[in-house]
Amino acid sequence: MTNPISVALVLLIFGGLIADMYWADGQTALLIARKFVALVEWVAFWR
């Protein structure tokens, strides 16, 4: 991955988080974080 691509991805992610904070009070980011924790626990079970 080149530097311009990685910078663009970081800006896209931060832009999405800022938009979520503005329009949805951060509920979407919280939901995604909770689903990610559940996924990590599920994968750890199968380890």
pLDDT tens, residue by residue, 9-45: 999 999 999 999 999 999 999 999 999 999 999 999 8
Structural domain of residue 41, as residue ranges? 3-45
Q: Does the pLDDT of residue 47 top 80, yes or no?
A: no
pLDDT of residue 45: 80
- CA-to-CA distance for 9 and 45, rounded, in angstroms? 31
pLDDT of residue 40: 95
pLDDT of residue 32: 94
Provide the domain count of the chain. Answer: 1
Q: Does the pLDDT of residue 1 top 80, yes or no?
A: yes
Joined tokens for residue 18: 């800022």
- CA-to-CA distance for 34 and 28, rounded, in angstroms? 10
